[in-house]
Each structure stands twice: as C-alpha cells, then as structure tokens.
Amino acid sequence: MTASTATATTARWGDPAETQVAIIGSGNIGTDLMMKIIRLSGTLQVAALVGIDADSDGLARARRLGVPTTAEGVGGLIALPHFEKIAVVFDATSAGAHQANAKALEPYGKVLIDLTPAAIGPFVVPTVNLDSHREARNVNMVTCGGQATIPIVAAISAVAPVAYAEIVASIASRSAGPGTRANIDEFTETTARAIEEVGGAERGKAIIVLNPADPPMIMRDTVFCLVGDADPAAIRASVEAMAGQVAGYVPGYRLKQEVQVDPVADDEPLATLVGPGVRPRWKVSVFLQVEGAAHYLPAYAGNLDIMTSAALRTAEELVRHAGTGQAAEALR
C-alpha cells in the first residue's frame, strides 16, 4: 500500500504500549529485520516497511502481515498519517541512500539505526560499546563482518595490547545481494576503522570473501591479532566469554575451535603489519561460524542475520534505556 492507503491496516498494529518503528529497505535485510521484530520483540512494533519497488517480496509479505507499507521511499514514510508516532527508523538500504535518508529525516527527531556502511553516526557493537552511545540520534551497525569479529578483537584488547588485528569474513555469494555488492569498498574501509575505534586495535584490516560454493556455505569469520605481553589463558577466557555474550542475541554464533595463542618467533617478519619499534609477543587466531536463524533468509545467510540481530538488540536497549512509548520524545 502507499501512504494514501496505509490507514486501512492501522487497527491491526497490536499493543499500543510498544515503541513504533519503521524499516527503510524492503530487501533481504529489511524484511528479515521485520520478521525478527514481529517474532521476537516485546518492546518494538513494526509500524511501516518502506521500499521503492511496489512488487518486492518484502512489501508483499508486510502487507499480508498487516504492516503498513509504502513504495515511495523516505518521502512516503514521512507522508504516512502515523509517522509522528514512529520513534525509531532502521535504514537497511545502502551507504549512499542512507546519506539522503538521514538528511530527509533529520528535522523530525527520530532515532536512526543505520545498517549500511555509511557511518554517519558512531559505530555500535552491542556487546562492546552500546552503553557509550545511548544518547546518539544516529548509530551505525558497522558491517556484518564487523558485528561478528569486533567483539572478539575487543575481548582480546581487554586483556592484551593489540598491535594489529585482521579479520576475514567469508560469506555465501548467494547471500550477497545488490546492496552488499555495491558496498564492498565501504565494507572493508568501515570495518577496518571500527576494528580500531571499537575493537581497540592499533591497526585494523578487513577482507571479505564471496564464496560461490553450492550448496552455499554458512558464514565463517577469522580473527587474527598480534598482541603484546599477556596471559594466554586470560585471552582465551575473554574470547570465550565474549562469544557467549554475542550468542545471547545471535544463537547461531559460535567458536569453531579452541582459541589459538602462539608465540611470535624472533625472526618472524612483521614490519609491514605493526609500527616501528613494536614487537608483538603472541599471535592469536580465532575461528567463528555464524548460522542464521532463518526467520526470513536461509540459515546460510548468517552475515545478514547477525546484522539484523544486532540492530534489534540495539533498538531494544535504546528503548529500554529511555523508557518505552510511541512518540519520538520517549527516546530523547
């Protein structure tokens, strides 16, 4: 439905005590997020799914579920009769589109949760730094690889100085839609920055691999860190504890094997990875798997599942911090 016909389904929204949210982007990520909120959240209520393709599967599914929709983009969202009651807007479009969407929504005081690599607002990884950004009006969920690996870098950083952190996110090619492919450069740049700014590494690097295997592979992530003086047992314990915290909102997230902590050999060439005069003592390798919950997407699309799961957790925590309610003022 368009903005002019959205009122036909308002009677089916559900509990008015829940905080109303809108999702911009009716593709895979936006639709999966909608299904997660409907199935899992007792705090949020989907008040609109916004797209630009009236025939998209996401908008069709939303209509069947009684969720108000518009195929007129952010302008259609603003024109909805209940727009003023929406407190949180998720953006699941693209980095370029989020720039325009954020500008269009700025006068209305909504809280924006950005699932693109645009990074207008601060990076947020729920288990690492959400508490530091509860007052932000636009928070960025980094990338799928960032949500999977930055908690591990931060866990290592909590017990050892990390001179260098490198992550490799391997995802099924079939799970990478047009938006993901268009944002490959932004993915590597944004994730590398967040490894440093959120993960605590002196230097970060990110690599993404689109694996064409058939049947499609489940998301796999590798975290490699060079660290200074530390107790290997403390590193392992910190990583294992963090993995458990992430699994609290991403059930398919797990360590694939024991954390590897190996000494750095005296003659190992590391000058291209760390700064001058820095000599790491340990190499830490962590291997992860992220299986999706299959709320909308297949289980192999763990890369998308961890983004929507992290966004849902972030929104719920922001609302819980501010107090629930429908109006945008409830989050101010």
Q: What is the pLDDT of residue 8?
A: 33
Q: Which domains does the chain have, with CATH numbers?
A: 3-141+307-331 (3.40.50.720), 144-298 (3.30.360.10)
Token pair, residue 83, equals: 């727009």
Distance CA 163, CA 277 (A): 11
* 225 counts as catalytic: no
Higher pLDDT, 211 or 14: 211
Flag whether pLDDT at 9 surpasses 90: no
Cβ atoms within 10 A of the Cβ of 5, count? Answer: 11
Question: What is the average pLDDT score of the chain?
Answer: 92
Q: Flag whether pLDDT at 309 surpasses 70.
A: yes
Angle between helices 57-64 and 28-40 (to 10 degrees): 20
Residue 7 pLDDT: 36
Region 23-34: mean pLDDT is: 96
Whether 172 and 216 have beta carbons less than 8 Å apart is answered as yes
The owner of tokens 């489940």 is 218
What pLDDT band is residue 329 in, cutting at 50, 70 and 90? Answer: low
> Which whole number is the average pLDDT over 160-179?
94
pLDDT confidence bin for 180, thresholds 50/70/90 = confident
Stretch 232-249: mean pLDDT: 98
Sequence-distant (≥ 6) Cβ neighbours of residue 102 within 8 angstroms: 91, 112, 114, 118, 120, 138
Q: Grade residue 178 by pLDDT with cuts at 50, 70 and 90.
A: confident
Q: What pLDDT digit, counting tens, does each position of 266-298 carry?
A: 999 998 999 888 899 999 999 999 999 999 999
Contact 90, 23 (CB under 8 A): yes
Higher pLDDT, 160 or 326: 160
Place of tokens 């952010």: 74
pLDDT tops 90 at residue 15 = no
Task: Give pLDDT tens digits for 57-116.
Answer: 999 999 999 999 999 999 999 999 999 999 999 999 998 999 999 999 999 999 999 999
Which is the catalytic residue, given 144, 194, 219, 312? Answer: 144
pTM higher than 0.75 = yes
